[in-house]
Structure 1
Amino acid sequence: MQFKRIGALAFLLGFGLYAQAQTIDEAYNQKIKEYTTDTRFLPASVLNLVDHPSIPSPSKHFGQIIGAPGVMHHTQDIYGYYQTLAKASPYLQIKQVETTEEGRPIYMIVIGNEESISNLDKYKGYMDRLADPRKTDSQAAEEIFEQAKPVYYLNGGLHSTEMGSPEMLMELAYRLITSEEKSIKQIRDKVIILINPVSEPDGRDKVVDWYHRYSKHRTEWEDGFPRSAPYWGKYVYHDNNRDGLQVSQALTKAIFNIFYEWHPTVMLDLHESVPLLYISTGTGPYNEQVDPVTIGEWQIMANHDITTLAAQGMPGAFTWAFYDGWWPGYGIWVANNHNSNGRFYETFGNAGANTYLRDLSNARYAGDPATTREWYRPDPPTEKVYWSARNNVNYMQAGVLASLTYAAQNGEQLLRNFYQKGVNSIRKGTSEGPRAYMIPADQRDPAMAAYLVNQLRAQAIEVHGDKDGNYYVLLDQPYRNLAVSLLSEQNYPKDAKFPPYDDIAWTLSYLYGVDVKAKDSIDFDRSQLTLIAEDAKYAGKVNGSGSNYFISYSAQNTVLPALYWIKDQNKSAEMQVLENEFVSGSDTLKAGSIWIKDLSSSQADELTKKFELDLLRGGKAPSNEETHPVTLPRVAIYHNWFYTQDEGWSRYTFDQRGIPYTSIDKDDLKAGNLNSRFDVILVPRSRGEASDFIHGVDSRFGPMPYTKTAEFPHHGFPDSTPDMTGGPGFTGIENLKKFIEAGGLVITLDNSTKMVAETGITRDLEPYTASGLFHPGSVVTVKAKDSSSPLLYGYPEVFSIFRGNGPLYRVDLAKRDEMVLMYGTKVLKDEEPYTGPIMGMENPNKKLDKKDSEGKPVPYVRSGMVRNEQTIIGQGGIFNIPVGKGRVVAFTFDPLHRYLNHHDAPLVWNALINWNHLGD
């Protein structure tokens, strides 16, 4: 074996010193070269791994190098390797930070020199002090800059089909703890590296099984075969990188836990989708609340990495033309939102370890072909690329090494920037408006106000309270910019050249239905406020006296689960819905309020606490003519096998709310007899056309089992099937129609309305194309068309909802009573009253006041942006359509979007509470 000199510095072997030349693993080198398809894809920085005498390399541990064809590792194997490294090296530690919904651990790896590893608490303390300039003045900060080290957080494996980063990070970790090469030692000595090697372990194991079960045998990339298991996490698929505002999933909590413990100066998320290496900056528009220092860092670091790869002769690295930089809910934005720097890579992945001929001729980014030379891409790839897993590892690792080198060489500047951004935030909170936000105690849904407080606190935003139950967000705090971003309206520029990458509005007051007041001056006594130090919870109470209990309904999210709880606790309890206003003592209960009979006082007290609801007691009871009974439905949530994203969010919402349901699929529809099992079937939003809903995954690939077996133990959850291919077919669609005709209710959300509108289940709904409409996720105004409809109980006549791009439907004028809710406040032209002359009779409209009787019009867009909004004004948001004895309730937006628009969700809960009383 050939020996090569790597460095003259002493090398730490185990716990003793050894000053000999390091041995290069030439066999590993040869395999890297063998598995790399082009010498231009092989940078010098990824060669020459050390052949360490006591720390096993990936090839010694696994028997194969990283990036070997056909080799993908499960999480247990990946974590096992890091545990071996931790035992063998003083430079690496491993720690569990979270447990997934399916019970798998999420680990964090820490790498640094021996001094860093021995003093981790000290370095965490430095970062904690820099994170809050209120407790660290400029002089103290200068002392910390001299002593602290930048913390660099690498996040891998978030999207499960992007399989290369969990592999690459193992090789990187080995390199960082064994090599004495100058640049590696500089990184190890001057940077503390955090690695989250598999941030989605549940999905990783499912997709590795999928690869070995199906994809490994494919020879063509563009053959149409599904590249992924149908599920990643228990609930969330690709949207696991859209959970940064909700912080609802375990993997997001793990990312936040790591960030808050360490306050890393840079966070780099490793993704795969774009050839050959995209380094994030984005086309803009950038989020308005991002500190300009961060934006400058994005540019500097991206160009540094591109330059470093170019110096090694690597083509295809670029920046700018992918993504925008607007939406703050990605995983890495925990960094951008908290005065750090969040970045990401997109390398070219093959969803496994096969080598494919990839065609780039039709790929375009920001309007430009992916293969043209541009100012942001100085060395483009060719139109066809023969691409391997090892190529992907090379690009990703070379980029990461370049970025870590930047951190090692510019650590003090990164620390200064991190501190300065906190200073800037506090200064803006004292010199610019608003100065504070107030969340008044009087809310239509007090539980959601408490939830908002808790969500702000989950983002490390300080919230104070007063003795009257009001909450305050004072903006002279380090995360002032994030607070303003979450609580103010978004104004996405209409003239933006490129379409937004994701939702463009997230104003939490609108999404939660909570009244929040911006205050430009401090007109309250700050000394009387107390910092909220634990989760807020509304303390519901019972008022009045009498044997009848009432819930005054204003579309609170916890009413439906409370009703299920009542029935579970007290089988004899009766619940009725008030169909008209009812006066009980000094209280006026609106339509939709709930009358509860035979509830014990102890149960009433427990209900108020458990569900954060107020109860009224009264002696007077409504008449039977004024109410209808609550018959709590047996609910099914339907999922297909070609797109489980939004169905997962729906299941998550139901589980969080405590609403029972059964998950069903195509086989249940084909089996029929649905009314014997269910009263309501919810069809969550899904991609696809009507043919996809009928036929599902292409049957030419079948049979394709998704079942748990000894060989593939990670499949079969959260649902299983002997064959994913095919759909319910025409038989299943007909059975769904029979279910409705026999008295069942089907609720369709957003795009899934195609399943009923374009398959013949109902012929009342006609597709409508709004010319020129561009409607990315924004908060918009809607108005009741039928204020008496139970679907709108608890809502005012005009309110706001969240809507993204999605299909629209309309009904004929003669059936316009089926439209329950409309977009905007102005009716369609065919509904405008005729005010002209009428031959043969005196004009009945001549006395009409033609002035706007509604006063100042309500703007359609509350937060975000919509182009050509006039084309959607007056169109239907919710339809209530009779089909035989049953109903279809069709939404043209998603009221259960990503567990985020909680204000809209009770529109679904209303349908469930009143499922058998939605019409004559």
Structure 2
Amino acid sequence: MSRLAAILIPFALLGPAFSQEVPTPESDLGFQVGADYKLASWKNILDYFAKLDASSERIEVQTLGESTEGRPFIMALISSAENLARKDHIKAAQKRLADPRGLSERDARSMAESGTAVVLIGCNIHATEVASSQMSMELAYDLVTSEDPAIQVMRDRVVLLLVPSLNPDGVDIVRDWYRETLGTPWEGTSPPWLYHKYTGHDNNRDWFMLTQDETRIMNRVHYEEWFPQIIYDVHQMGNKGARFFVPPFFDPLNPNVPPLLQRQIMLVGAHMAHDLQAEGKPGVITSAVYDMWWHGGYRTVPYRHNIVGILSEAASVRIASPIFQLEKDLTGHRRGLPNYWLQANFPEPWPGGWWRLRDIVEYQKIASRSILKLASTQKEDWIYNFYQLGMQAINLGKNEPPFAYLIPPDQHDPIAAYELKRTLSEGGVEIHRAKKSLQADGVTYPAGTTVVLMAQPYRAHAKDLLERQRYPDRRIGGEDGEPERPYDVTGWTLPLQMGVRAVEVVTPFKANLSVIEPRLPDHRVGSSSSGYYLENRTNNDVWALNRLLAKGHSAYWTDKPTRASGRTIGEGAIWLPSKDGLQADLTSMATETGIEPLPGRKPDRGYRLKQPRLGLYQPWTSNMDEGWTRWVLERYDFAYRTLHDAELKAGNLGERYDVIILPSAKPGRLLKGHADGTMPRQYVGGMGDQGVDNLLAFVREGGTLICLGDASRLALDRFDLPVESGLDENRSDDPFYAPGSILQVDLDVSHPLAFGRTSPQPVYFAQSPVFQVSGNASSVADYPKFNPLMSGWIFGHEQIHGNSALVDVPVHNGRVILFGFRPQHRAQPHSTFKILFNAIYYSVATPNVSVR
């Protein structure tokens, strides 16, 4: 996908009416921000910012684009009128500092003295964490209207970029649900559906992959337009312990995060904690729970771009309903606060009592003002250190290995290679192409090789995405203690996830290079009276297959290798018989998606393919895996229908579906869903025994059930399959952990599920099920009999040696396909999308037919 075009349209600019009275949020909304049981809608927030914009020269509200569901996505610029008048000059200076190549230290210091620091506050990415979107109105009002000398200094020395919500759709999704359930037993619960159309809570896991509209909008703000020195990511957390978290963060540190930047984060966190304490706010904790290892969040990707990313987490209420808590009921946390007691990082525990939305608003406002005060009083340091961090990255890339990563042109999946390069480029990484052959580490690489030099400002971002992660082996209570479970993902290496060969260069080398923008492969489609092959190596080949079947074309999988256009084409290629319009359709698709149709002779026999009648189960438990599955299916033009509990319980599924996908969820969540009394009746109970029985009947009558991740456990429990779990889930003496790592499997590439892939195959593993097969069950992917870790962390790897990761089980006239791993996790592992797509088409593939 191409970069989102910049849309910087002044929002509600009503001429020079800046002398009219500036309305307070309370006067506009009719209630105080943070009042019990009250929430502003997204329209309320838009309207209020429009009125501020019309009333003062100290704020300019911009519409940056649209949210996923079409709501305006806004950002408010708050500063002095003079700074806003010269905002283009400030942006140009920030861009120059962000890439300091050719900028002298003397000039950088001069820019720091005369320049303006830029701070971005991003609110409400997680829609049930409602306080910050509400708080943004009051913060904006205070900063625009106050004549306090300290705030005047802030306006003179800082430009604030204030984003009232990073998820505008979620503001209304949560508010509407809250208002609907107010006064009922389920008041203050989360909605039974995702609060972002596709990602839900995982919208804060998309900041290097950039799949969602909102992420791409803000990525442009960060790394193409404004290049802020500080980004503040405002969150809420559970309410069983501390009231407010600010940095420093807990261990481990990621070695790619520069030490100077780590110290800056500690400085900001200490300043925030000080100001909160000075304002009499108890319950503030530091150095607990949240760490700096993982790459991909709103505050963690900026680290790799020399930007100080700050997180706060406030104890939540029940959306906007207050809670009362006794101190004796409050607890600590396994990371940084073993008990709820006084300790160095928690000097004043909150004593309990009423906790309200207004409390959260006040803590967040103090934290926001603290950051702005520090940025304004030390703005020369912030600006100069931004320059320093960029120069340090460049010098590290020049003087320390790795010196580059190479992406050779001879890739198994050239479109995945393009997608990898595009992802890096959109994240601000500079990419080169070799004009001539080059030698690196004693190996010759041809002209056309992609070169990602490490001597560039965003070295940390490129390196952290391209290298293999090695999470430290951390133990509780000493080296022989229980493993400390990581906070989030431990491995994310994109070349492994995307199936791209990338080579680390560890010695200096010379090459004739030119800077490039990534481009899709460009292939001419020749004429053929017989038909065309698609090698079925790329996900876009399946996109084309979906489009062509929808247009009425015929398609087959080949059942043995063949030759076409001077090359050998492997088993499982797609054969498209010629008919009127096929060449034109393929030509258009080749231009749009980079596919390579190859003219050739008709194979004798193969698998006949047809459009699958696809169903995707959507539980009423706001399942993120279901949302990501939907996004991937839509991205590649799969037609599908959503099933809910009522349809599963009604039965006769084979009348409407050939294949049904169950997203990853624990069996209890699938079977029982929400408990009675916790949700309106239509959203409780899960699929129930009746739904499970109907799924089994669907399979026996010829349907295919695809179980992703933990959903496989439901089939093991209820379907009497010749498959058992390869792990003892209740074993405590020898635990197994692999939370969010990339593991190797050996793939049976002759099986239709593995068509187009190679072996060994990296897969994304998150405490996933593994299998032992017998009888007529076929293992399509097995873990090797050695440590399968490729990137991340694993404990107890011996327990999965030789076990299966992917199983095909015939059941009467149908089949069950068990994915232990997550083939579509967060839309990152492009390499295993294809295995999921194969599973869908396998459900309707007729083998050993004569090709017409």
TM-score normalised by length of structure 2: 0.90
Which of the residues 545, 549, 559 maps onto 2:532?
A: 549
Amino acid at match of 2:499: G
Specify the SS of the correspondent of 1:95.
Answer: strand
Structure 1 residues 196-246: Cα deviation after superposition (integer angstroms, max 9, x where no partner):
0011010110100111111x3268xxx897333522121110000000111
Structure 1 residues 545-597: Cα deviation after superposition (integer angstroms, max 9, x where no partner):
6623222243x21222211222233x2x4322122223447432221112221
Mapped contact 1:370–1:380 kept (Cα < 8 A):
no
Shift, 1:787, TM fit? 4.4
Mapped contact 2:407–2:449 kept (Cα < 8 A):
yes
Shift, 1:640, TM fit? 0.4
In 2: Cα distance, 1:107 partner to 1:648 partner: 25
Mapped contact 1:768–1:810 kept (Cα < 8 A):
no
Mapped contact 2:722–2:773 kept (Cα < 8 A):
no
Distance 1:401 1:381, change over 3 A: same
Amino acid at match of 2:793: M
Structure 1 residues 851-887: Cα deviation after superposition (integer angstroms, max 9, x where no partner):
xxxxxx7x51111111111111111101111111000
Q: Which residue of 1 aligns with 2:816?
A: 888
Q: Which residue of 1 aligns with 2:314?
A: 347
Shift, 1:897, TM fit? 0.1
Distance 1:349 1:610, change over 3 A: same
Which of the residues 511, 524, 532 maps onto 2:516?
A: 532
Q: Is 1:240 aligned to residue 217 of structure 2?
A: no
Q: Is 1:217 aligned to residue 183 of structure 2?
A: yes
Which of the residues 724, 728, 743 maps onto 1:780?
A: 743
Q: Which residue of 1 aligns with 2:344?
A: 375
Q: Which residue of 2 aligns with 1:741?
A: 700
Amino acid at match of 2:144: I
Amino acid at match of 1:726: G
Specify the SS of the correspondent of 1:259.
Answer: helix
Structure 1 residues 59-102: Cα deviation after superposition (integer angstroms, max 9, x where no partner):
22222221211110001101111111111111111001121111
Mapped contact 2:763–2:822 kept (Cα < 8 A):
no
Amino acid at match of 1:610: E
Q: Which residue of 1 aligns with 2:354?
A: 386
Structure 1 residues 755-805: Cα deviation after superposition (integer angstroms, max 9, x where no partner):
322233646444732641110211111113x44321122223322211111
Shift, 1:148, TM fit? 0.8
* Unmatched tracts of structure 1, length 5 or more: 1-12, 17-52, 705-722, 827-856
Correspondences of 1:320-719 after superposition (within 5 Å): 320-358=287-325, 360-366=329-335, 368-369=337-338, 371-382=340-351, 384-466=352-434, 468-495=447-474, 497=476, 498-521=484-507, 523-526=509-512, 529-533=513-517, 535-542=518-525, 547-554=530-537, 556-569=538-551, 571=552, 573-584=553-564, 586-599=566-579, 600-619=582-601, 621-624=602-605, 627-686=606-665, 688=666, 690-701=667-678, 703-704=680-681
Which of the residues 101, 104, 125 maps onto 1:158?
A: 125
Distance 1:340 1:797, change over 3 A: closer
Q: Which residue of 2 aligns with 1:728?
A: 687
Which of the residues 770, 791, 797 maps onto 1:869?
A: 797
Mapped contact 1:355–1:388 kept (Cα < 8 A):
yes
Q: Which residue of 1 aligns with 2:5?
A: none
Superposed CA RMSD? 2.3
Which of the residues 252, 256, 267 maps onto 2:231?
A: 267
Amino acid at match of 1:249: Q
Aligned residues: 803
Structure 1 residues 476-522: Cα deviation after superposition (integer angstroms, max 9, x where no partner):
21111211111111111123554211111111111110111222345
Specify the SS of the correspondent of 1:525.
Answer: coil
Specify the SS of the correspondent of 2:251.
Answer: coil
Distance 1:740 1:307, change over 3 A: same
Structure 1 residues 663-714: Cα deviation after superposition (integer angstroms, max 9, x where no partner):
111122122221121111111212x3x233123222334545xxxxxxxxxx
Correspondences of 1:147-226 after superposition (within 5 Å): 147-214=114-181, 216-217=182-183, 226=189
Q: Which residue of 2 aligns with 1:753?
A: 712
In 1: Cα distance, 2:527 partner to 2:798 partner: 49
Amino acid at match of 1:509: P
Shift, 1:653, TM fit? 0.6
In 2: Cα distance, 1:420 partner to 1:172 partner: 31
Shift, 1:247, TM fit? 0.8
Q: Which residue of 1 aligns with 2:13?
A: none
Correspondences of 1:21-40 after superposition (within 5 Å): none
Specify the SS of the correspondent of 2:539.
Answer: coil
Amino acid at match of 2:696: K
Structure 1 residues 315-347: Cα deviation after superposition (integer angstroms, max 9, x where no partner):
111111111111110012342121110111001
Specify the SS of the correspondent of 1:700.
Answer: coil
Structure 1 residues 251-281: Cα deviation after superposition (integer angstroms, max 9, x where no partner):
2122212213111111101101153110033
Structure 1 residues 9-31: Cα deviation after superposition (integer angstroms, max 9, x where no partner):
xxxx9867xxxxxxxxxxxxxxx
Shift, 1:353, TM fit? 2.1
Mapped contact 1:490–1:507 kept (Cα < 8 A):
yes
Question: Which of the pair has more CA radius of gyration?
Answer: 1
Correspondences of 1:851-866 after superposition (within 5 Å): 859-866=787-794
In 2: Cα distance, 1:125 partner to 1:353 partner: 41
In 1: Cα distance, 2:325 partner to 2:574 partner: 60
Name whichever of 167-176 and 223-232 sits farther off: 223-232
In 1: Cα distance, 2:301 partner to 2:472 partner: 24
Mapped contact 1:669–1:732 kept (Cα < 8 A):
yes
Mapped contact 1:425–1:481 kept (Cα < 8 A):
yes
Mapped contact 1:791–1:918 kept (Cα < 8 A):
no
Amino acid at match of 2:703: G
Specify the SS of the correspondent of 1:209.
Answer: helix
Shift, 1:391, TM fit? 1.1
Q: Which residue of 1 aligns with 2:440?
A: none
Shift, 1:632, TM fit? 2.8
Shift, 1:402, TM fit? 1.7
Specify the SS of the correspondent of 1:284.
Answer: strand
Structure 1 residues 139-187: Cα deviation after superposition (integer angstroms, max 9, x where no partner):
2212111111111111101100001001111111111111112322222
Distance 1:703 1:322, change over 3 A: closer
In 2: Cα distance, 1:683 partner to 1:753 partner: 8
Distance 1:496 1:99, change over 3 A: farther
Which of the residues 250, 253, 256 maps onto 2:213?
A: 250
In 2: Cα distance, 1:413 partner to 1:424 partner: 16
Distance 1:893 1:647, change over 3 A: same
In 1: Cα distance, 2:362 partner to 2:593 partner: 53
In 2: Cα distance, 1:430 partner to 1:367 partner: 38
Specify the SS of the correspondent of 1:285.
Answer: strand
Specify the SS of the correspondent of 2:556.
Answer: strand
Mapped contact 1:451–1:536 kept (Cα < 8 A):
no
Q: Is 1:105 aligned to residue 72 of structure 2?
A: yes
Q: Identity of counterpart residues, as a percentage?
A: 29
Amino acid at match of 2:584: S
In 2: Cα distance, 1:550 partner to 1:919 partner: 18
* Unmatched tracts of structure 2, length 5 or more: 1-15, 436-446, 477-483
Name whichever of 645-654 and 276-285 sits farther off: 276-285
Mapped contact 1:14–1:54 kept (Cα < 8 A):
no
Mapped contact 2:18–2:54 kept (Cα < 8 A):
no
Correspondences of 1:132-151 after superposition (within 5 Å): 132-151=99-118
Distance 1:350 1:769, change over 3 A: same
